Structure 1
Amino acid sequence: MSELFERNGELIQRRWPKVWHRLSVENSAELRADLVDGQGSTLSINGIQLTSRHDRTREALLQAGSLPVDSPVVHVYGTGLGDLQLQLLERTGLERLYVHILNGAVFSLVLQLLDQQAWLSDSRVVLLYAGDLAEIQLPYFALPSELVLADDYNAKIRDRLISETHLTFNNREFNADNPEIAERLQASVERVRADANAAELFATCSGREVFVIATGPSLEQHFDTLRAVREQAQRPLFICVDTAYRPLIEHGIKPDVVVTIDQRISTRHLPCDATRDITLVYMPMVDPEVLGGWQGKRYVAYSASPVYRDMREQLPKAQLFVGGSVIHPAVDLAVHMGASQITLFGADFAFPNNKTHAGWNDGDLGPQVGAARHWVLDGHGQRVKTQLNFRSYLCELERYIAGHPQVAFYNSSRAGAMIVGTTFHPELTR
């Protein structure tokens, strides 16, 4: 144990004994650490520079400048080399600085190599592991290097931080002034005016169990089970997302309700023949050809998107929650209908077994497996490939589940992402 580690450790142990207990057993020996020189120098961990190698102080000043100057409380995610913490602590109005560890082994290594007592000794500092809290705290700055290096324990918070950081960029396509969006909405006005309000479905299944069926690869494990349950006289209500419809039909499973919200969904995904006894719940951006061909009852809903602002005022309909994916309004519809128990199928938010979706070829519904550069933890606690938008959708579903404690949520597979707030179904989980 280095002398620096002992001195840093004594301070942490005195102030945060539980944190020190965990830090002292972190395995930093597995990290590949290098000193990287430029106009200055920094530490590189597994090929990722913790800070600038040219001017760490100037970089920290820039990072601090993105945070409100008058906020009495600030949160920093990642420990870096302590530069940002020192800059923030120079603010006389700062009352509390929370420093959230994103990788315990990385911080343990820094404690061995650099004196961190200047900021650790400040009475305004609170040190904790990011994963100790279920949700991100505002206002915050997340050190980019440690968003990449975040370990398994802190991965859920990393995902929330990245999702929050990308929110404005992700929403750029959904501008109400976009001519293509305006044209699509105009094409659907008369149908929206004539079709039923999704609110008419609310409270129609009070206390009933609902299966919400998505298109993740693990759905393929459940076709036989779903077909058998569908034939029972007393059974759960089947609500599926649009891209799950065709694989279900091809396996002899007819859903009760299909939910669709995306303008890119076509009759290829939702073939309209033999849909007379299937309910369609849609949002006005959906392809008019799909709506025109659907034989069953159609119900309209909106999301909170600015895209629907004018239409919501002119043609009031129910509003369903959308957090980027069609699975969100499908789940929200089940809750509004009165479900007491919801079991999720194919809600993987990942690419288990190197597949993207059940019933579709690689790349049919988006990027191919080979393009996956990110990961989440699956139901076995192992890393499984995914993409950034899937992690964002997962975050929003977990937040939704946390806000509806009156409903029991079950997951039917351990192959996909672990979904906080769900329990693995004792009979159906594969």
Structure 2
Amino acid sequence: MPSFFESNLKYLRTRWPEYAELLSNRPSAQKNYESDDFSSLPSIRIWPHTRLVIFFGLGTGAGLENYMKEFTQRPELETLLIERQPETFARLLENIDLSTWLQSPRVQVWLGLTGAQTQLNSITYFNENNRAAYWSAIQIVAHPEIAKENEEYFRNIEAFCNEAMKDASNAFGNSPDDALLGLQNSLLNGDWIRKSPSWIQFRNRLPDVPAFLIASGPSLEQEFERLKLARDEGVIICADSALRPLLDHGIVPDFVTALERVPEVAVFFRGVATKQTTLVSLPVLYPEAYRSYAGPKVMAFRDYPYFEMFGVSETEMQMIGPSCTHLSFQFAHMLGCSPLVLVGQDLSYDPENFRSHVRGTGFADRDKPNNPEELLNKQEYFWVDGNHGKKVLTNHALAMFRAWFENLFAKIDDRTIINCSLKGAKIKYCSVGSLQSVLDNLSTKWDRASFENKFTSLTSTRERIRKTDWINGLKEDVRWIDRLQKLLDTGLTQASNAQANLALARALETMILKLVNNDRHFKKLLLIIMTPLLFQIEVAKNKAASACVNDANYTNVLVHHYAQMLAEIKLWSLKLKDLLLQTINIDT
């Protein structure tokens, strides 16, 4: 019987060189399974609505050929193969020709990973390609002997995947209205974006300098006196809601971060002395907040493709997270700072008076104590472990922020992260200590004067793209939307006039996939706006498909939901066209 090991290893090495290295010595199996037991996979019948098949072990792969054939015939199907033992995977490579499979971008392999590594892989995997929408369209195929022997390992992976999908779904934004508002604000801030200093200019400017990252949690009230000393020890970066309380206590932050697109954010800067503090903000910030800010300004960029229209390069964009303190953390990391010290990052309510924030943020309702019983009567409030050894009260939004921090912290192994929010919720992947102990143990002083001397050059403005080129680019975007309308009308006509059949469903699906994955203009202009809505429709489609009792029902579900996607793309692209035309008319 021929061995396929070397040919499979060749393709494995192309995509996963670390796995190829692991297997290059051809390890022999540590356990000799009976061939009948080891070779048998359960009968694999892939449901019509399945989008992702996860294998918990494959053994020698007998029975896999039929699945591989179906995989080839169904371009929407993705596969995740998880094998704990490298020697078992080596036997699979010997027995089955997987060369085509291993080359497919629709196949992913996790081999010999620890529990912590599978958790990180889950976060990355389900944040890519809208996979979080597969929630009700995932099918797990478990090899009987391998899954039984590694029961806890695979059970934890299943929990990691569920948690990652839940967190990833939160990352798709609140709604297309919210996303469109962000683009509208960016267009109104267009002249500033085109000329703004970029946060990338600060990369590694403060290597190994301590950074104190100040949020507006209620525990901040106990730290004002110590933070006065911290300014001599490192750089202070605060969230917009913490700026006013810090200034009221005589503490001038070096940087303040802001990213909200709603009018309320302007309250944090109105009537506040900001000339000595640099604003690090996203382009989606409410325009009045820019106008009311008197100090220096630096622009940070999420990985949103539409920033390309302002001349922003890919190197300037990165994933940031949902809150100002996530932006503060990412900026401090970009500066090269260490340790990264969290202060007032409670992510929970005060354990004594149940206030949500430090007093003095500018919103009177945040200054008031809360009744925990009244909060707990609402579904979104619950108890979690606190840093002081007791439970603290939190809510779903704060828990989501905490999950984002844990995802960020888990990927960082070159910095020290210390959480000094002693009354707050416990955050994984960082140590806990008092701010006083951090100050007592800092061994180096940073040269603030030297950094401030360089500051003018770091914040100097430059024109990313000429105004005439920017306006001409917007006009070309409008012409693309006009062409898009014709394509969408064709698809909608087909969906409404033709009898539903699987060929039609797949044609509509292909039209949508080409737009979303391959059309440069769609990615630049509409992907961020449409993603929350397309995600919701995809989830609804998968849920409805899972309840289908026959092929005709399934086909009707597909056609209905794909037509709904096309109609929503048409609606929101026309709204975008109106925004672009308004910007062109205002600026010309």
Q: One fold, TM greater than 0.5?
A: yes
* 2:204 is aligned with 1:203: yes
Query: Which string of whole-angstrom CA distances, capped at 9 and with x for unpartnered residues, describes residues 37-85 of structure 1?
Result: xxxxxxxxxxxxxxxxxxxxxxxx999966634x3239xxxxxxxxxxx
CA contact (8 A) 1:207 1:340 kept: yes
Name the residue aligned to 1:422.
430
Query: Which string of whole-angstrom CA distances, capped at 9 and with x for unpartnered residues, describes residues 336-391 of structure 1?
Result: 111021110011111132121112467549xx772452332111343322111211
- SS of 1:302's partner is coil
Q: How does 1:259-274 map to 2 (within 5 A)?
A: 259-264=257-262, 265-271=264-270, 273-274=272-273
| AA matched with 1:261 | L
* 2:76 is aligned with 1:73: no
Q: Residue 305 of structure 1: CA displacement?
A: 3.4
Name the residue aligned to 2:151.
127
CA contact (8 A) 2:304 2:317 kept: no
- SS of 2:189's partner is helix
Equivalents in 2 of 1:321, 1:363: separation in Å?
Answer: 32
CA contact (8 A) 1:413 1:429 kept: no
* 2:388 is aligned with 1:380: yes
TM (normalized to structure 2)? 0.46
Q: Residue 280 of structure 1: CA displacement?
A: 0.8
Name the residue aligned to 2:185.
184
Equivalents in 2 of 1:324, 1:217: separation in Å?
Answer: 20
Q: How does 1:10-409 map to 2 (within 5 A)?
A: 68-69=52-53, 71-73=54-56, 123-125=146-148, 126-128=150-152, 137=160, 140=161, 142=162, 160=164, 162-168=166-172, 170-173=173-176, 178=180, 180-230=181-231, 234-264=232-262, 265-271=264-270, 273-306=272-305, 308-311=306-309, 313=311, 318-353=316-351, 354-359=354-359, 360=361, 363-364=365-366, 370=375, 371=378, 372-409=380-417
Change (3 A) 1:243 1:225: same
Name the residue aligned to 1:413.
421
Equivalents in 2 of 1:327, 1:73: separation in Å?
Answer: 38
| AA matched with 1:68 | L
Change (3 A) 1:263 1:427: closer
Gaps of 5+ in 2: 1-44, 58-65, 69-79, 85-114, 116-141, 439-588
Change (3 A) 1:96 1:293: closer
Equivalents in 2 of 1:401, 1:303: separation in Å?
Answer: 18
CA contact (8 A) 2:422 2:433 kept: no
Q: RMSD value over aligned CA atoms?
A: 3.8
| AA matched with 1:257 | F
Equivalents in 1 of 2:249, 2:81: separation in Å?
Answer: 60
Greater C-alpha radius of gyration: 2
CA contact (8 A) 1:267 1:290 kept: yes
TM (normalized to structure 1)? 0.61
- Higher relative helix content: 2
| AA matched with 1:127 | E
Q: Residue 248 of structure 1: CA displacement?
A: 1.0
Gaps of 5+ in 1: 1-60, 75-90, 101-118, 143-157
Change (3 A) 1:229 1:92: closer
What is the percent sequence identity of the aligned residues?
Answer: 22
Q: Residue 204 of structure 1: CA displacement?
A: 1.7
CA contact (8 A) 1:241 1:327 kept: yes
- SS of 2:151's partner is strand
| AA matched with 1:326 | C
Equivalents in 1 of 2:143, 2:56: separation in Å?
Answer: 16
- SS of 1:399's partner is helix
Query: Which string of whole-angstrom CA distances, capped at 9 and with x for unpartnered residues, describes residues 180-218 of structure 1?
Result: 333312110001122211122222211211101011111
Change (3 A) 1:162 1:225: same
